[in-house]
Amino acid sequence: MNIRQQLNDIFQAAMIAAGIPADCSPAVAPAKKAGFGDYQANGAMAAAKKVGTNPRELAAKIVDNLDKGEMIEKVEIAGPGFINIHLSEAWLGKTLAAARTDEHLNVEQVTDPQTVVLDYSAPNLAKEMHVGHLRSTIIGDALARLLEFQGHTVIRQNHMGDWGTQFGMLLAHLSDQMEKQDAEVALADLEQFYREAKIRFDEEEGFADRAREYVVKLQGGDPECLKLWKQFIDISISHSEEIYEKLNVTLTRSDVYGESRYNDDLPVLVQELLDRGIAVEDQGAVVVFLEEMADKEGNPSPMIIRKRGGGYLYATTDLAAIRYRANQLKADRILIVVDARQSLHLQQAFTAARKASFLPESVTLEHCAFGTMMGEDGKPFKTRTGGTVKLAALLDEAVERATALVAAKNPELSQEQQAEIGRVVGIGAVKYADLSKTRTNDYVFNWDSMLAFEGNTAPYLQYAYTRVRSIFRRAGIDPSALTGTIELGTDAERALAIKLNQFGEVLDQVAKDTFPHVLCTYLYDLASAYMAFYEACPVLKEGVTEEQKQSRLQLCDMVARTLSTGLGLLGIEVLEQM
Ligand code: ARG
């Protein structure tokens, strides 16, 4: 259990002992400012309102009934009834020492592990992956790693766009191309290939008709056509895999469960909804009218699940996917990491799925929405000529820029070393710049700020890690050989210890709310607390006692391990030297 929960339990017990109803929460939270203790219990005010007494008196009663145990040094009542909590130094030191020797840094495995289906990345295979899929890929992967670290079972679902009418045009073009060259060669540049097919579709006599024929053949399961389609999909997936590899993203081919996988289920699903009266025919289309999402005039929100011509939609597939994930994959929690612009679509899908009882009530459906990546001009991020930015090119540029910075900073390093540091820093910078922003907001993509060695950036944190590690190298000490207790004699040591002990509760919060920036902010605060400690508390200098040295080095070691573990959960690597 994390510290915050432990304190909450202690205060809840005190409140009950003080005769306060059990549904009143102690509302324990980390103190916002120095001088107000380490944590605060803020629940007395609300409880006093409920039972109709004076909040300060009630706070005093809670304190009288408090079992401080080993953990709490002292408490004091402040203002209208806040209770400031000071943690015991001995307890803090002991807890940290235990965390240090624990592989998992004392972050316990959850007692109620869930099966979490996590839908992320999901590029459309007709085209090259572009920046629009970067955010989903990065955010989703961080959530996957974090939930697994806590002991949940994560089932990754790469809901790739591998089906749809545009494949008619692509397959017609591909079959022509393959008279001259291999599919791999023809599809080396998907973007280019798509453009060519589109031009032919728009301009070439008879091509559009052939494209439509291909759609019909594909949907009818024509073996030749399916073979061609399969080839296209395979090559396109390999393009995505190259990106995943570069990005250090955990998705593999076995996580691909594309839209096409639901094809067979779509007619069944639509018929079932019609039979049950949940969907109705309306002007030739099949529609689910959602009263739950009615507008101000009371008109239900319409969700089309079959078009007039008989075609199925993105929405139909999502309904099928929800049902599959709940019933076949046995999800307890379903997370879909996709652009905020798809909010209405997903809200409809979620509402319709509930209406049709496609999943047990207890299963949660969550849209982890994110904003748009913007260029400096405040418009959605594009190339200078206004085209979509290919992800592969963007990542190459990140590595190039970072390598140039590293070379300027450390000319003494070999070219291979510079290249390796450049790779880790460049990719880390792109990922961290995204993850550190509140995901629901739009954000401006800026090379200079993401690659800065100062501020809340990947390079800053990676460098902080390297600096801590270099202390051990300089001293010639192996962290596993450190002994003795952790003493927190100064404010800076104490503040650092508290930060370090908060790692678990930060992870709990991110797991619950799915906002990775909370972990980024934590790591940045931790690095800052470390810098303050390092300024105030000599570690290896003369005059430091052996006990102090051992204690402070243990703190350093915990900082390094927490930074590397935390960054690792974000999918960001660290280096021993940079
Ligand atoms: N392929 C879709 C897109 O590029 C994203 C799919 C997200 N997942 C889902 N179940 N709708 O916009």
In this structure, the residue with its CA closest to atom 4 of ligand 1 is: 123
CB 430 within 8 Å of CB 450:
yes
Tens digits of residue pLDDT in 498-549? 999 999 999 999 999 999 999 999 999 999 999 999 999 999 998 999 999 9
Q: For the residues 278-297, what does the mean pLDDT come to?
A: 97
* Atom number of ligand 1 nearest to Cα 119: 8
Q: What is the Å distance from ligand 1's center to 122 Cα?
A: 5
Other beta carbons within 10 angstroms of residue 39's beta carbon come to: 24
User: Which pLDDT band, with edges at 50, 70 and 90, does 32 fall under?
Assistant: confident
Q: For the residues 444-470, what does the mean pLDDT come to?
A: 96
Q: What is the pLDDT of residue 381?
A: 87
Q: What is the Å distance from ligand 1's center to 536 Cα?
A: 50
- HSE at residue 559, side-chain half, CA atoms within 13 A, is 33
Q: State the Cα–Cα distance between residues 228 and 511, nearest whole angstrom.
A: 42
Q: Which of 342, 365, 366 to mutate to test the pocket of ligand 1 (most atoms within 8 A of CB)?
A: 342
Residue type, position 152, single letter: H
Q: State the Cα–Cα distance between residues 409 and 280, nearest whole angstrom.
A: 67
Q: State the Cα–Cα distance between residues 34 and 447, nearest whole angstrom.
A: 35
Query: Is the Cβ atom of 124 under 6 angstroms away from ligand 1?
Result: yes
The single residue listed with the structure tokens 């203790």 is 37
Q: What angle do CA 110, 112, 113 make, to 5 degrees?
A: 70
Q: What is the pLDDT of residue 112?
A: 94
Query: Is the Cβ atom of 161 under 6 angstroms away from ligand 1?
Result: yes
SS3 of 532-566: HHHHHCCCCCCCCCHHHHHHHHHHHHHHHHHHHHH
Which residues, in sequence order, are CB contacts of 537 under 8 Å at separation 6+?
A: 490, 492, 493, 552
Q: 145-180: b or e for each residue (b if 16 or more CB lie within 10 Å)?
A: bbbebbebebbbbbbbbbbbebbbbbbbbbeebeee
Q: What is the Å distance from ligand 1's center to 159 Cα?
A: 6
Extended strands (E) in 131-232: 153-157
Query: Is the Cβ atom of 434 under 6 angstroms away from ligand 1?
Result: no
Q: Where are the alpha helices (DSSP H) in 365-502?
A: 391-409, 415-435, 447-450, 458-475, 491-501
Q: What's this model's pTM, rounded to 2 decimal places?
A: 0.95
State phi, psi for 298 to the nearest 5 degrees.
90, 10
Tens digits of residue pLDDT in 82-140? 999 999 999 999 999 999 999 999 998 999 999 999 999 999 999 888 888 999 999 99
Residue type, position 404, single letter: A
Query: Is the Cβ atom of 457 under 6 angstroms away from ligand 1?
Result: no
CB 488 within 8 Å of CB 498:
no
Residue with the larger pLDDT of the pair 35 and 302: 302
Find residue 83's DSSP bridge partners: 41, 77
Tens digits of residue pLDDT in 309-320? 889 999 999 999
Running DSSP on this structure, what letter comes out for residue 203?
A: H
Which residues, in sequence order, are CB contacts of 132 under 8 Å at separation 6+?
A: 339, 373, 388
CB 346 within 8 Å of CB 318:
yes
* Atom number of ligand 1 nearest to Cα 161: 1
Q: State the Cα–Cα distance between residues 462 and 540, nearest whole angstrom.
A: 22
Task: Report the interhelical angle of 503-513 vs 517-536 (nearest 10°).
Answer: 160
Tens digits of residue pLDDT in 38-70? 999 999 999 999 999 999 999 999 999 999 999
- What contacts 24+ positions apart, CB below 8 Å, involve 509-514? 510/143, 510/146, 511/146, 511/147, 511/150, 511/152, 514/143, 514/335, 514/366, 514/368
Running DSSP on this structure, what letter comes out for residue 286?
A: E
> Above 90 in pLDDT, residue 267?
yes
User: Which pLDDT band, with edges at 50, 70 and 90, does 157 fall under?
Assistant: very high
State phi, psi for 488 to the nearest 5 degrees.
-115, 65
- Give residue 115's Cα distance to chain centre: 17
